[in-house]
Amino acid sequence: MERWSHESIDMQEDVYMLSDLEKKIIASLQEDLPIDPRPYRMIAKQIGVSEERVLQELRSLCDRGIIRRFGATLRHQKSGFAANAMGAWIVDEYLIDAVGEQMAAFPEVSHCYRRNPTNGWPYNLYTMIHASDETSCLNTARRMSESTGITRFALLFSQKELKKTSMVYFPTDD
């Protein structure tokens, strides 16, 4: 077993013991998931265990706080979207959950999350909108505004992708 710590898990430098199998599973999740109805079955096959064992180990890693969340990265250019815009919205706090759910339900939205506003930047709800062109992004934002009644927002269009990588905790041999 190897000692491993990560400050995003706990700022008090808790140390976790990871088995070789857990390290293999974490390493497999550092890469893109296989495009398959059962991606964990394919991962299990690659590392030589059952799909149920992979899922059991993932549950344990999550329960222990070693894995705190799973996220997806949309590579919009490879998906056929030529434009994307971050919608920054000002939403009353008592409405944030309901509005967030409504906005997240739009098929053009891949991400929707709440952040704390700061001085000079009052926005607290963010949506990533993907479309074939900027006009379509604008039209989606207008529909979202009309649907939710939220009229104070800004759209930030991506100009150039500078970096999009995942964290690597355990290097693989390839």
DSSP string, the chain: -EEE--TTT-TT---EEE-HHHHHHHHHHTSPPPSSS-HHHHHHHHHTS-HHHHHHHHHHHHHTTSS--------TTTTT--EEEEEEE---GGGHHHHHHHHHTSTTEEEEEE---BTTB---EEEEEEESSHHHHHHHHHHHHHHHT---EEEEE-----------SS----
pLDDT, residue 41, reads: 94
Q: What is the pLDDT of residues 36-69, one digit of tens each?
A: 889 999 999 999 999 999 999 999 998 888 888 7
Q: Which residues in the chain show pLDDT less than 70?
A: 1-16, 71-82, 160-169, 172-174
% of the chain with per-residue pLDDT over 90? 55
- Could you confirm whether domain 83-157 is CATH 3.30.70.3460? yes
The CATH architecture annotation of domain 2-63 reads: Orthogonal Bundle (1.10)
- What is the residue extent of each domain of the chain? 2-63, 83-157
Rounded to two decimals, the pTM is 0.58
